[in-house]
Amino acid sequence: MTLLQFPSHRRTADIRRCAATLRDLHGEKANQFWRNEMALLVSALREVGACEAEISHQAQMFMNAVQLELQAGFVSESIG
């Protein structure tokens, strides 16, 4: 198992940046942005020597964190 200094689901600034961008993009532009972000994450994890299982786990955790941030934003917009 690889020890990661900053687990992907705790990269708050990246999570908020991605969620904010995805709120403004739609369709293929949103898909392309997300594919690019995930490719960057995978590349960074490979650079530090993470195994494929850990890369998959970190990618899933990051994706879940971005989803939660998006959902929180939608809830606060509907309340406010």
Q: What is the pLDDT of residues 50-76, one digit of tens each?
A: 999 999 999 999 999 999 999 998 777
- The per-residue pLDDT for range 40-55, each reduced to its tens digit, is 999 999 999 999 999 9
pLDDT band at 32 (very low <50, low <70, confident <90, very high): very high
Q: How far is CA 33 from CA 3, 38, 40, in A?
A: 28, 9, 11
Q: Which of 68, 74, 76 is nearest to 12 (CA)?
A: 68
pLDDT, greater one: 4 or 6: 6
